[in-house]
Amino acid sequence: MVRRPRPARPPPRVPAAATRLGTHRAGHGRSTGGAVSFSPDWLALREQADATARSTELLAPLGDFLDGATELTVRDLGCGTGSMGRWLSGRLPAPQRWILHDHDPALLAQARLNLSARGPVLAVETREGDLTGLRAEDLTGTSLVTASALLDLLTAEEVNRLAAACVHAGSPALLTLSVAGRVEMTPAEPLDTAFTAAFNAHQRRGLLLGPDAPAVTAAAFRALGASVHSAPSPWRLGPRNAALTAEWLRGWVAAACEQDPGLTRHADAYLRRRSQDGVEIVVHHEDLLALPGAAS
């Protein structure tokens, strides 16, 4: 193993709560199957931004596909504390039974408690373990597969397996908040491009899809005969959500410095400038809806 030289100054602090759509694996290990643990505090901090960003445009074709159902079974992959269920349950056309998948038992317990109290939700079950091994037979009776900020933590092989399971089971998939690799800051400055490029490279470590996830996932579903709809779902950060902005920005810069230690000498001053009042940040993501077609 080749050791990288120690930077002259340590990189900025990586948030203890790494984000699936911001810092992802910055400063954190990752086992196969996207098994990354996230702090409930971080998930709570970002929930409103997630809810605001998710596209409602995709709910119309999804509702048409589910039209006529009197009861739905929804599987949420990588559920965290259940934010997808809290956002989506009241927007679906029929009452639902939710099956929550995650590798973290503490998050599963919290998600079950949070989601069970919602009106359209008839029942909540949990499944602990690797969610990337799902097969079509595991999805029997599933009306909808959902995930939020998950695809960019997967490999192309894992995405292909997920697409095959959904399409062959005849289950639509609503996959939201996949990082798209573009960050816009206003006012802009030259270092924005360097930090964005380093962060994107960090996200692709170990064959992970990172910002390539939306395109690779759409292609995987289309290759199996599904129709795919997409819509942008950007995070809009700034003074109105200062705590989230600060936490995301520190982790984003830290991941870039880990990937490119040459950026470390700029990090502290860059963070100070980017943390000033009036700086607006748009973190681009993409939502996908895959509807199985005749080929399923």
Q: Which one, of 33, 91, 34, lies nearest residue 60 by Cα?
A: 91
Name residue 75's beta-bridge partners. Answer: 99, 145
H or E element that contains 282 = strand 280-291
Confidence bin at 37 (pLDDT 50/70/90)? low
Domain 40-291: top CATH class: alpha beta
Q: pLDDT, tens digit, for every residue of 143-201?
A: 999 999 999 999 999 999 999 999 999 999 999 999 999 999 999 999 999 999 999 99
* 57 CB burial (10 A radius; 0-12, 13-18, 19+): middle
The dihedral built from the CA positions of residue 28, 29, 32 and 35, taken in this order, carries a sign that is negative
Whole-number Å distance between alpha carbons of 143 and 145: 7
Tracing tokens 């910002």 back to the chain, one arrives at 211
| pTM score of the predicted model | 0.88
14: Cα separation from own chain's centroid = 18
The answer to whether residue 88 scores a pLDDT higher than 90 is yes
Structure tokens at 244: 């989230």
Domain ranges in the chain?
40-291
User: CB-based contacts of 73: which residues, under 8 Å, 6+ apart?
Assistant: 96, 97, 98, 99, 141, 142, 143, 144
The dihedral built from the CA positions of residue 272, 273, 277 and 282, taken in this order, carries a sign that is negative
Strand, coil or helix: what is 296?
coil
